[in-house]
Structure 1
Amino acid sequence: MGEATERFFASLPARAPAVLHGPAIGTLQIDLSNGHRTEHWLVEMGPGSARVSRESRPADAVWSSSEDLFERLVTGRDQAVAAVFRNEATFSGNVVLFLAFRRFFPDPPGTRDPCQMARQQAGRAT
């Protein structure tokens, strides 16, 4: 398991109040494979909260991918939805949980907030 992935999961409870808003309530199991071994993570999500464990039990939704792909997601080098469309990852269950969870992933390096860019441009024009 990569260090970035370990740090990512460790950071979820502290980041949840700023990331999780709205109706995302339930459990998301994340299965990360590397050859013949699969690591399991269980994220229990609610408005403004997340609890992470290494349990493998029934969940409301399941994400499955390689450890390598997930490492790219947690470092902003890849996009979760694009990975599903490329068939590099699978997702089943409550899609609201996936849409909420993907907000934890960082933006790609060099990405700029369009609203912030517009404010900067407006400030230069005055």
Structure 2
Amino acid sequence: MTEATERFFESLPARAPHVLLSPVSGTMQIDLSRGTRTVHWLVHLRPGAIEVSRNRGPADAIWYTSEELFDRLVTGRAQAISSVLRNESSFSGDVVLFLLFRRFFPDPPGTRDPRQVAREQVGRLR
């Protein structure tokens, strides 16, 4: 398990009030594999809060991915939906939980909000 992944999971409870604004709730199990070893994370999502543990358990959704890919996701070097569409990871269950959880991942390095870019362009024209 990489340090970036550990820090990511540790940061989720503090970030949840700003990210989990919808009324969606449920449990997602994230299985990170490396060779023959798999590390499990159980994430309980509810409006404004998240609980994280290193357990397996009943889940509304399960996301299977490699530790290496997950490390790229938590550092903004990969995108979650793209990884599923390219079959680099797989997902089963309530897709709404996956779409909600991906909001915790950072944008790629150097990405700028298009609204801010437009404001800067308008400012230059004045």
Indicate the TM-score class for this superposition, using the shorter chain for normalisation: over 0.9
TM superposition outliers: structure 1 runs of 4+ over 6 Å: none
Q: 2:28 matched to 1:28?
A: yes
Q: Distance in 2 between matches of 1:78 and 1:110?
A: 13
1:43-62 superposed matches below 5 A: 43-62=43-62
1:26-105 superposed matches below 5 A: 26-105=26-105
Deviations 1:32-76 (A, max 9, x none): 000111000011111111110011001011110000000000000
Shift of 1:124: 2.0
Report the equivalent of 2:108.
Answer: 108
Q: Distance in 1 between matches of 2:94 and 2:23?
A: 11
Length, aligned pairs only: 126
Q: Distance in 2 between matches of 1:48 and 1:119?
A: 31
Q: Distance in 2 between matches of 1:38 and 1:29?
A: 12
Q: Distance in 2 between matches of 1:44 and 1:76?
A: 23
Give TM-score scaled by structure 1 length: 0.97
Deviations 1:63-103 (A, max 9, x none): 10000000000000001111111111000111110001000
Gaps of 5+ in 2: none
Q: Distance in 2 between matches of 1:10 and 1:66?
A: 19
**Identity of aligned pairs, percent?**
68
Give the AA of the match of 2:121.
Q
